Each structure stands twice: as structure tokens, then as C-alpha cells.
Structure 1
Amino acid sequence: MDNLTNKVVVITGGNSGIGYAAAREFKSRGAKVVVTGKRQHAVDEAANKLGVTGLLADQADLNQLDKLVTDIKSSLGNVDVLFINAGVAFFESIVHTSEAQFDTMVNVNFKGSFFTLQKFLPILNDGASVIFLTSGNTALTMENSSVYSASKSAVSHLAKIAAKELARRNIRVNTVNPGPTETEMQGKFGMDEPTLKGMKEMVISQVPLGKMGVPEDVAKLVAYLADNAVSSFITGAEFFIDGGMAL
């Protein structure tokens, strides 16, 4: 029997990209998976394709987080794995970053991650695993990424402090920091196709392995960190999965 069989796994932003791949990985290993998202159609479509539970929730909305926790508690009980994956990115210079872009990234990436953890604490089993998705940008000083990188760096530091505070409950907290990965999010950067293509070529030129990652690479690492049988002595750690880009 797989060590993740019948474990309750919650994945925020699980209707696409890395979250979707992680949901598929956990489902294949026998877990009871819940994916969340803030677009009802996208959540329903993903849940139906994966054969998992889909719940509508905006990670940046505390009232929706409260409802999410209540719904999961009443339907599935306590949670064994919490993958705080939802995030948003805009790549713009400091000069041209708008207040709306700033607020969106901070509210979703940092505030949303913080309060998702806080709200779920009462229904996390002792010995649970929490994984935050941050970014390889936490180790880089890439132009046009100031707010995005700062918001993800804040999550990385949050995870380390959470690992200390929650160790008394034997709850492990780690971060996965992907580098350039082929996901749906890349189509949401507000760039036209030639600009996006040029950006991808520029990024790949900085990756020692000379390619972009795929969501399945990240999903397998997340599942590894969720499995107490193989990662029970790992907490407060950062795992870069970026083809060596941060070197």
C-alpha cells in the first residue's frame, strides 16, 4: 500500500499548472484530494477530469478560507497534507508597477499563503506536512520581478518560522522553489506572443540544463515531501527545482 493512500490532501490553486499536476500525482497514489481555485468553471472542470473534490475559494479572501476549512472539515475531516500553491505574477519594472499589481501579488502570494496556513491549523493532523510553493526567483535578482520575488521571499521566510512553531506538533513545513516551468500562468503575464517567446528564450539561456521544467517534475517533489515514510526528518528546507538556474 502506498504511504499516501487515504491521506487527505488539499491543494490551493489546484485547477491548473503545478497544482493540477500535484493533484494528479496524489490521486494516483491513493490520496483523497481537494483542489481549490477562484474560477468555478475551471475548478469544476479540473475536479471532473481528475476525479477529485473541487471547491471554490480565493486564497486572498479570508471569509472564503473560513468557509473552505469548514466545508473540508465536515466532508473529509482533518487534513494530512496542505499544499499552498496558489499564486499570481506580474513582471514589470519598479517604475511601471501599478498599485493594483502590487496589491494583487502581495494579497495572493503572501497574505493568502499566511492566512491559508493559519486557518487550516485547527484541522491539520499532528504529523501533517505543509508545502509552500515559492519560486526560484527568491534566489535571483531578476529585473522586472521586484514585487513578485519579494512576495515569494516573504513566503519562504514564513515557512521557516512555521517549521519551528509547528515542530511541537510534528508538522513539517517545507518550500518548493520552481525555476522556469511550462504552465498556464505564462500565458497570463500580459505579453504578446513574440515578447513571451523572447522572454522564454532569454530565461532558458540562463538555465544550465538548457530547458524549462514541466509541472510533473515539481509534483513528484511535492509528493515526496508529503510522504512521512521518506521525508520525516525534513522540515524548514527549501528545494530549488530549476535546472541549476540559481547557481
Structure 2
Amino acid sequence: MNRLQDKVALITGGTSGIGLETARQFIAEGARVAITGSSAKSVEAARAELGENALIIQADAGDVAGQKAVAAAIREHFGRLDVLFVNAGIAQFAPLEQWSEDDFDRSIAINLKGPYFLIQALSPLFANPASIVLNTSINAHIGAPNSSVYALTKGALLTLAKTLSGELKDRGIRVNAISPGPIETPLYGKLSSDPEQVKAFTAAITDRIPIGRFGKSSEVAKAVVFFASDESAFTVGSELIIDGGMSNL
């Protein structure tokens, strides 16, 4: 299909997991794609896979000044932007008493502050119509222990989906959110250096998912394609939960 034919799309955190799979699907749907990644290694791996099909930008999602550089690269290479998928983020979990100010600030910067100022920097480049998709999380809904800061950042993104929709609608810019549950991505492997702990952690999560498995990046990417396409032209300020029923328990 060609649901995104000739659309220009930027995917943050697009070098692995949900972001990389979304880039693949966007390209397959006819979009011209740019992705960002924070590490040189991940950027080079994505470049090796996507080749000339994508503009690949190394950028720190939490660096406010760096968001202007990303916007400048989009302006220079494409001249406009039709779709923004705000996907870059970190998931750090810890009890209340173990949070340091530095860790708190890092989560806020990467998951919320950087994305906010990226949208601001890109604002002059958005076409009319255009679509912004924010990657949030079911953690904003379920009150999971040890997720206070992560859920805080994702809940703030959900608020942005509504408030920015109201603010930007007259420019033809729609803002929507996806809220994935547990998804098979490299993220979970980074939660601990002990493979047995990771295995036990993922097993415990799987027990809480009614359909009995983690989701796939491809399943989330399909939802992003819908929000990015003209098929969702009447969908504004909404949230799609993709969690295998986990938040319904």
C-alpha cells in the first residue's frame, strides 16, 4: 500500500525496536523518512540496514539545543515535515526512595523536555495537514510499583496530545498518542545485567497480560502508520492503547 506516499516523516529513537520497525513500515508505505538515534553504533547499524531510504541523524533526545539541530537537518534535507513520531525515550524503574535528582532529571529530559522542544523547533516546518504521534505507555494508567517517574513522563505526553491538539488544530496539525504495553524490544534486556533477572521479570509481566504474550514492534508500528496517514484525518487528541488487555485488569 501507499498510505504515506510522498509524506516526509521524522521518527525519533528510530534506530531500534518500535522506532526502527516504524521506519521500515513508513518506507514501505511510500514515505520519505528521517530517524534519530543517540549512539554512533545504533546509527551506523540503522544506516547499514536502511541505506539511502532514510536520513539518519545522531541526536540526544534529551538535549534541548540539539533539537534545533535536528529541525535544521529536516529543513535542509526535506524543506517540510508531514509526520512526526515522538518515540525516543528511556524506561527507568526504581522505588521512590531510590531516585536521585540526576536520574529524575534525565528521565524528564529524554522523555518529555526534549520532545517538547523538538516539537517547538519543528513547528515552522509542519505542513498543513500534518500529524504528530506521541509514544506514551500504559504505565500512565495502571499505577505499577516502581514506575512513578516513567509514568509521570508518559502521562505528561498524554496531556500534550490533548492540549497541543487544541493549540495546533487551526494549522491542520493533528496530535494523537499510542500507549503500548509490554513490547518485545531491546528495552527489556537493558533493565538488568543479569539474564536470569530479565527472564524472571519478563515472565512476571507476561502473567499479567490477558492474551499471554508481549506485543510485537510491528503491531505498534501499524497503529503509528494509521495515525500518520490520512485515514485518521478525523482522529484528534486521542489515545490508542496497545497492551494485549493488560490495562483492563
Which category of TM-score, normalised to the shorter sequence, fits these structures?
Answer: over 0.9
Partner of 1:83: 85
Are 1:201 and 2:178 matched, yes or no? no
Deviation, structure 1 residue 105 = 0.7
Corresponding residue to 1:62 among 61, 64, 80: 64
Number of positions where the alignment pairs a residue of Structure 1 with one of Structure 2: 246
- What residue number does 1:28 align with? 28
Q: Does 1:242 align with 2:243?
A: yes
SS of alignment partner, residue 61 of structure 2: coil
Aligned partners of 1:84 and 1:116 also within 8 Å: no
Alignment of 1:88-103 (within 5 A): 88-103=90-105
Distance of 2:126 and 2:40 partners within structure 1: 25
Measure the CA separation in 2 of the matches of 1:226 and 1:110. Answer: 21
Alignment correspondent of 1:50: 50
2:132 pairs with one of 130, 133, 137: 130
Distance 1:139 1:40 in 2: 34
- 1:220 alignment counterpart: 222
2:17 counterpart letter in structure 1: G
The answer on whether the counterparts of 1:88 and 1:109 sit within 8 Å (CA) in structure 2 is yes
Q: Does 2:116 match 1:117?
A: no
Shift of 1:9: 0.6
TM-score, normalization: structure 1? 0.96
For 2:235 and 2:62, the matched residues in 1 are separated by 28
Structure 1 runs, 4 residues or longer, greater than 4 Å off: none
CA distance in 2, matches of 1:109, 1:11: 14
Give the root-mean-square deviation of aligned CA atoms.
1.1
Q: Is the 8 A contact 2:64 2:113 kept in 1?
A: no
Specify the SS of the correspondent of 2:94. coil
Return the alpha-carbon distance in structure 2 between the equivalents of residues 110 and 46 of structure 1.
Answer: 24
SS of residue in 2 equivalent to 1:43: helix
Which runs of 5 or more residues in structure 2 are unaligned? none
- Distance in structure 2 (CA, Å) of the matches to 1:48 and 1:195: 32
- Consecutive unaligned residues of structure 1, counting only runs of 5 or more, are none
**% of aligned pairs identical?**
39
Amino acid at match of 2:40: Q
Listed one character per residue, the Cα deviations across residues 178-228 of structure 1 (whole Å, up to 9, x for unaligned) are 000010111222352111111111111111111100111000100011001
Tell me, yes or no, if the aligned pair for 2:90 and 2:111 is still in contact at 8 Å. Answer: yes
Please give the TM-score of this superposition, normalised by the length of structure 2. Answer: 0.96
